């Protein structure tokens, strides 16, 4: 399905994607937009012009500077709006008079992506990070407690999606510089205070919640997907030396978490589903999901930018998980914990089972004991080495899914952050 | 300093207290109030009448349904408003015409506490629970990892305030019923899913943040108290059987956290200061606080209501901590983690070093192995026993501080919750 809007061949934003974000320009205040090709469609103005009238929802929710209220309208509304946008944007639209041929509205509502500054798409009430990637869990057990297995570290690893509560105040949008954090480490049994010396990234995949549940109630696993607004890429920056010193992730994680700016809807990822890799383990009833293809097969590329060069780090995949996002939601709310629109649930590191598929330097460098060699993307003979991140390093995650029938790509934009020296 | 408002002898709310809360009545929408004696002073109406004009701050912040924006005005503003309120409310006020003798405004702005329904006082962006109570840490080490010491569980226990991120969506105001949560436990090495069988409370003390810090910056320990809006009592409900099954507190804690409704300002607690009990340990510079009396000596009573009877559980104290709240703030923001107005920082369980001073049933019942005997408050010969909480049990924390010079009491109101059977 082609669009009359220019969609370059390498664009993440085909008509099959239509992700939501919050953007502003030098003369437009922050507002809701949908990416299409090399443009952003301004939904505030479009809603103001009555383009969504008759779709039976509160269109004021499209005229705000955050997506929370629109997300809370529910998945049936999101699907209707998506269909309406696809109809308006396809090259053979039968409603050309509404936007394509309506010069004034079209010129006002289509903004070049290059001019758009992206903001955090939702107000995040609570951020939860999970720990459901199998290869990462194996390595982490060894890192956190040398000689131990996953099951020794977390007895319930196979029985429920393990998680910890993260810090929502420091979730930032792609492009925000990351200051090297200070903290405490232990050297020879003595506490040392200063800048983190083992700064790392973690390649993750995350879901934003659309509609939540009441305090004291829970969400059934087979209904959980209806509570997902969409997905982003996520970098769970980690200070490994600080982490070894903490009972649960605290200062080692709470200094920053970066997300990609565009929330990709479920519908855009339907063709990229797979089963979680938990084998055929018997689960408690509340985690037994009817849908078999409940996880996603999405390769995520990590690159390191150094002095103007781009180096290949790893190719991870969202399929390296033992639970689906729906199972994460069911378990999270199981005891009556309220989820709210804008809550962010991340998978944890989605490392694959071999080198070059590992999603953090802790894994790639064998806990910092052996430097990892990275090749220049454009000249593989050119290499650099890293154990952990250095000041000036720019970490970028991208993912671009291609439909086999040439319908164009589905991607997330960049999840990028550059390390600044500490202050 | 006496007030012309009726302050019963057993009231928590003398003129020396003046805590902030959000209240509503059958005909008043939720709004900011200050408790005085058996009344709530409606600050929305008072601000609307111009009573705070000339104090050089944005009085619109007093006309909202949450305290976040008012708190963010900063401690200098809070002190000015406090002085203004004390002047207006004292029996020998020289500004009697403004409120005391202004029948119409007085009748409108003073609402009986009995008619007031209390709400969550602030929108909580992030909630962090600490682990800085010494006796509780000792018992917890044994509970979580039998045979282990604090230092084996958390090597950095003495070097920095240990903490984990909690769940902000389920922080509820006193009086909200608590449903027994469901979750996963392990029995004989097998996962069992069902209702929590070891439901517990934890007596804690907590601070609300007024002004925060920017992403990437930190708060100096000697300036940290200026970032505290005030204090509440907190019950960190805990599912012990679920907790033993988790790497970090997740479903074992995120189902509910109860706070008392009134935020008691720092100024009201000035006379009840003491030193933290961390001895004279050498700390990193960023945690060395000039003020010696940086902690508080506040006894907190826990009672259990069963079938209309009140049983004495324990008397804890906020002085059983190895770090001050200022040190908690300095460490929390050390790596650049942004704090925001409305963030909630709790101490962890403030158990004392002997039985009947322990702030949770896990401690009182030796990890559930020996029932704890509770005496009826009004007839000590009448007793009941508990290992963990039963359905119908009502847990209440209170604290009432008395000035030695008879100035009246400073208290927090109730921090109360009743266990309902699960659903």
pLDDT tens track for B200-232? 999 999 999 999 999 999 999 999 999 999 999
Report yes or no: B164 at the A interface, CB cutoff 8 Å.
yes
The pLDDT-based confidence of A201 (bands split at 50, 70, 90) is very high
- Partners of residue B401 on adjacent β-strands: B410
Average pLDDT across chain A, whole number: 95
pLDDT in tens, B270-311: 999 998 877 678 899 999 999 999 999 999 999 999 999 999
pLDDT in tens, B120-161: 999 999 999 999 999 999 888 887 788 889 888 888 899 999
Would you state the pLDDT for residue B247? 83
C-alpha to C-alpha distance for A344 and A346, rounded to whole angstroms: 7
A159, A250, A257, A333: best mutation site toward chain B, by most B Cβ within 10 Å? A250
Would you state the pLDDT for residue A263? 98
Examine the pLDDT at A42 and tell me if it is beyond 90. yes
- Partners of residue B39 on adjacent β-strands: B36, B112
Give the mean model confidence (pLDDT) for residues A118-124: 98
> What is the percent of chain B with per-residue pLDDT over 70, rounded to a whole number?
100
Q: Is A179 a catalytic residue?
A: no
Name the closest residue on chain A to residue B285, using Cα atoms.
A193
Would you state the pLDDT for residue B153? 83
- Partners of residue A218 on adjacent β-strands: none
The distance between the two most distant Cα atoms of chain B, rounded to a whole number of Å, is: 73
Give the mean model confidence (pLDDT) for residues B73-85: 98
* B16 neighbors B403 (Cβ within 8 angstroms): yes
Would you state the pLDDT for residue A144? 79
Average pLDDT across chain B, whole number: 95
Give the mean model confidence (pLDDT) for residues B85-94: 96
Give the mean model confidence (pLDDT) for residues B89-99: 96
What does CATH list as the number for A20-119? 2.30.30.230
DSSP H or E run through A417: strand A415-420
C-alpha to C-alpha distance for B178 and B172, rounded to whole angstroms: 9
Give the mean model confidence (pLDDT) for residues A10-17: 96
- Name the least confident of A95-104, A382-391, B183-192: B183-192
The distance between the two most distant Cα atoms of chain A, rounded to a whole number of Å, is: 73
* B201 neighbors B395 (Cβ within 8 angstroms): yes
Report yes or no: A418 at the B interface, CB cutoff 8 Å.
no
Examine the pLDDT at A89 and tell me if it is beyond 80. yes
> What is the percent of chain B with per-residue pLDDT over 90, rounded to a whole number?
87
Q: Which of B368, B363, B357 is nearest to B390 (CA)?
A: B368
Would you state the pLDDT for residue B281? 85
CA A174, distance to chain mean position in Å, is: 10
Which structure tokens are listed for B187? 């029995």
The vertex-B102 CA angle with B100 and B108, nearest 5°, equals 90
pLDDT in tens, B13-27: 999 999 999 999 999
Active-site residue, from B78, B130, B136, B227: B136
Burial (CB count within 10 angstroms: exposed 0-12, middle 13-18, buried 19+), residue B271: middle
Q: Which of A163, A317, A321 is nearest to A253 (CA)?
A: A163
- Smallest Cα distance from B387 to chain A, Å: 21
Would you state the pLDDT for residue B141? 86
Would you state the pLDDT for residue B322? 94
Beta strands in A65-202 (DSSP E): 110-112, 117-119, 127-130, 163-165, 171-173, 178-179, 182-187, 190-195, 199-200
pLDDT in tens, A222-253: 999 999 999 999 999 999 999 988 888 999 99
- In chain A, what residues touch B256 (CB-CB under 8 Å)? 215, 336
Enter the ipTM: 0.96
B362: Cα within 13 Å, side-chain hemisphere? 27
Q: Which of B361, B351, B350 is nearest to B395 (CA)?
A: B361
Report yes or no: B216 at the A interface, CB cutoff 8 Å.
yes
pLDDT in tens, A49-87: 999 999 999 999 999 999 999 999 999 999 999 999 999
Report yes or no: B285 at the A interface, CB cutoff 8 Å.
yes
C-alpha to C-alpha distance for A253 and B165, rounded to whole angstroms: 10
3-class state of residue A328 by DSSP:
helix
- A126–B251: do the CB atoms touch at under 8 Å? no
More confident residue, A404 or B181: B181
A residues 173..192 contacting B (CB < 8 A)? 176, 179, 181-184, 186, 191
Would you state the pLDDT for residue A191? 87
pLDDT in tens, A365-380: 999 999 999 999 999 8
C-alpha to C-alpha distance for A38 and B414, rounded to whole angstroms: 57
B324: Cα within 13 Å, side-chain hemisphere? 26
pLDDT in tens, B161-173: 999 999 999 999 9
- Smallest Cα distance from A212 to chain B, Å: 11
CA A124, distance to chain mean position in Å, is: 13
CA torsion sign for A5, A11, A16, A19 is negative
The pLDDT-based confidence of A188 (bands split at 50, 70, 90) is confident
- B164–A247: do the CB atoms touch at under 8 Å? yes
Backbone dihedral angles phi then psi of residue B399, each to the nearest 5 degrees? -155, 130
* A34 neighbors A47 (Cβ within 8 angstroms): no
User: In angstroms, how far is the first alpha carbon of chain A from the final one?
Assistant: 50
- Closest residue to A248, CB basis, from B170, B248, B285: B248
Backbone dihedral angles phi then psi of residue A64, each to the nearest 5 degrees? -110, 175
- Considering only CA atoms, give the Rg of chain B: 22
Active-site residue, from A136, A227, A331, A332: A136
Examine the pLDDT at B393 and tell me if it is beyond 90. yes
> What is the percent of chain A with per-residue pLDDT over 90, rounded to a whole number?
87
* A186 neighbors A245 (Cβ within 8 angstroms): yes
CATH level 3 topology of B127-418: Fumarylacetoacetate hydrolase; domain 2 (3.90.850)
* B116 neighbors B333 (Cβ within 8 angstroms): no
- A284–B162: do the CB atoms touch at under 8 Å? no
Q: Which of A149, A145, A137, A139 is nearest to A362 (CA)?
A: A139
C-alpha to C-alpha distance for B332 and B225, rounded to whole angstroms: 14
Q: What DSSP string describes A259-309?
A: E-S-BB-GGGGGGGEE--S-TT----GGG--S-S--EE--EEEEEEEETTE
Which structure tokens are listed for A192? 């040392």
C-alpha to C-alpha distance for B215 and B333, rounded to whole angstroms: 9
b/e burial code for range A255-275 (CB count within 10 A of at least 16 → b): bbbbbbbbbbbbbbbeebbbe
pLDDT in tens, A287-343: 999 999 999 999 999 999 999 999 999 999 999 999 999 999 999 999 999 999 999
Give the mean model confidence (pLDDT) for residues A153-159: 88
- A156–B246: do the CB atoms touch at under 8 Å? yes
Would you state the pLDDT for residue B279? 67
Give the mean model confidence (pLDDT) for residues B393-401: 98
Long-range pairs, A69-73, Cβ under 8 A, ≥24: A69/A341, A70/A20, A70/A32, A71/A122, A71/A208, A71/A209, A71/A210, A71/A211, A71/A229, A71/A341, A71/A342, A72/A210, A72/A211, A72/A212, A72/A341, A73/A210
C-alpha to C-alpha distance for A284 and B170, rounded to whole angstroms: 24
- Domain edges within chain B: 20-119, 127-418
User: In angstroms, how far is the first alpha carbon of chain B from the final one?
Assistant: 50
pLDDT in tens, B370-391: 999 999 999 989 999 999 999 9
Would you state the pLDDT for residue A279? 66
């Amino acid at each position: 399905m082609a669009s009359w809007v220019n969609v370059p061949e390498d664009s993440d934003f085909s008509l099959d994607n239509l992700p939501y974000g919050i953007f502003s320009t030098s003369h437009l205040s922050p507002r809701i937009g949908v990416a299409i090709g090399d443009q952003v469609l301004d939904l505030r103005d479009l809603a103001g012009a009555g383009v969504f009238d008759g779709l039976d929802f509160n269109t004021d929710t499209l005229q705000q500077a955050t997506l929370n209220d629109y997300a809370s309208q529910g998945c049936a509304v999101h699907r209707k709006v998506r269909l309406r946008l696809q109809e308006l944007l396809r090259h053979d639209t039968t409603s050309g008079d509404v936007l394509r041929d309506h010069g004034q509205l079209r010129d006002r509502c289509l903004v070049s992506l290059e001019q758009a500054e992206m903001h955090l798409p939702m107000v995040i009430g609570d951020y939860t990070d999970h720990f459901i990637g199998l290869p990462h869990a194996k390595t982490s057990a060894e890192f956190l407690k040398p000689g131990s297995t996953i099951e020794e570290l977390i007895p319930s690893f196979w029985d429920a999606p393990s998680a910890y509560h993260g810090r929502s105040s420091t979730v930032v949008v792609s492009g925000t510089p990351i200051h090297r954090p200070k903290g405490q480490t232990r050297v020879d049994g003595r506490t040392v205070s200063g800048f983190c010396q083992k700064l790392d990234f973690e390649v993750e995949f995350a879901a934003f919640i659309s509609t939540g549940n009441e305090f004291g109630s829970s969400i059934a696993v087979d209904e959980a997907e209806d509570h997902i607004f969409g997905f982003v890429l996520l970098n769970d920056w980690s200070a490994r030396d600080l982490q070894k010193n903490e009972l649960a992730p605290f200062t080692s994680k709470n200094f920053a978490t970066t997300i990609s700016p565009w929330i990709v809807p479920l519908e855009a990822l339907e063709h990229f589903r797979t089963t979680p890799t938990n084998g055929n383990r018997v689960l408690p009833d509340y985690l037994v999901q009817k849908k078999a293809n409940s996880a996603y097969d999405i390769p995520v590329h990590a690159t390191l930018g150094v002095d103007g060069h781009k180096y290949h780090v790893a190719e991870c995949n969202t399929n390296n998980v033992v639970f689906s996002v729906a199972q994460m939601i069911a378990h999270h709310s199981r005891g009556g914990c309220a989820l709210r629109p804008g809550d962010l649930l991340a998978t944890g590191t989605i490392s694959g089972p071999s080198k070059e598929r590992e999603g953090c330097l802790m894994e790639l460098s064998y806990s910092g004991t052996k430097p990892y060699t990275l090749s220049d993307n454009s000249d593989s003979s050119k290499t650099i080495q890293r154990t952990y991140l250095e000041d000036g390093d720019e970490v970028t995650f991208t993912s671009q899914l291609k439909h086999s029938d040439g319908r164009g790509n589905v991607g997330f934009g960049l999840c990028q952050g550059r390390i600044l020296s500490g202050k």
